[in-house]
Amino acid sequence: MLTLSLYNYAEMLALIASIIFYKNLFKTPFLILIPYLLMTVAAELTGNYLGIHHRYKENVNLFNITTVIEFVIFYFLFYKNINSAVLKNIILYAMPLYVVLAAVNQLFIQGFNNFHTYTMLVGTVFIIVFVFFYFYEAFSDKEPLSLPKEPMFWISIGLFLFYLGDFTYNLMQPYFIKNHMQKESFHLFHIINNNLIIFEYICFSIAIFVCSNNRLASKLQS
């Protein structure tokens, strides 16, 4: 029997919000949140099922694939919400580069049956850099801008805090291993990670609600 965590409900809440307000997301870059959230909820439920039945290899391969798709979707959103040609080009080149690095890691380094921590680390670094791109441009804008009314503001906040926490934990892993604190670190990871996921998807839900503003939805059409 599947046991759901609070973060699963946060993901489902964001998915339900995206479906309810799909008309306002239509013709905006944020429409991609609907298939993304469907994939996320399906992957989490499938991963939960595989974990219960101790099917580690299938579980790992599932998340190795969805993680790459997830990062590319986030890069796409930054690409569509940043105006600077230079910054857009950096993001545009980063997308296929990340996919190539993920494939190299899977084929030649970490293999098919291990969780791709290197792929995750590279993807996280890109996300954090792109968040800085977004806020650099937002604060450099000469026109008055109310960031809380911008969907990408909420998505950026959610992504930044989640991946910053994840990145920090990965940096501390060698220390935990060296001091034989794997059990304590695993418990700490779950506490931090689960709460940051909840925060991340609450931010996604807020972004979707903000996008439901018809004036803003019209502005975001692409």
Other beta carbons within 10 angstroms of residue 73's beta carbon come to: 16
The answer to whether the beta carbons of residues 144 and 89 sit under 8 Å apart is no
pLDDT in tens, 54-75: 777 888 899 999 999 999 999 9
Q: What is the pLDDT of residue 222?
A: 47
- Domain boundaries along the sequence of the chain: 23-220
Residue 3 has φ and ψ, to the nearest 5°, of -115, 120
Q: What is the pLDDT of residue 128?
A: 96
Report residues of the chain scoring pLDDT below 50. Answer: 214-215, 217-218, 222
Q: What is the pLDDT of residue 144?
A: 67
Q: What is the pLDDT of residue 3?
A: 78
How many Å apart are CA 220 and CA 169, to the nearest integer?
Answer: 35
pTM of the predicted protein model: 0.90
SS3 content of the chain, % helix, strand, coil (to 5): 85, 0, 15
Per-position DSSP letters for 85-138, written without gaps between them? HHHHHHHHHHHHHHHHHHHHIIIIIS-SSS--HHHHHHHHHHHHHHHHHHHHHH
Amino acid at 145: L
Q: What is the pLDDT of residue 169?
A: 75
pLDDT in tens, 7-17: 999 999 999 99
The answer to whether the beta carbons of residues 222 and 31 sit under 8 Å apart is no
Amino acid at 222: S
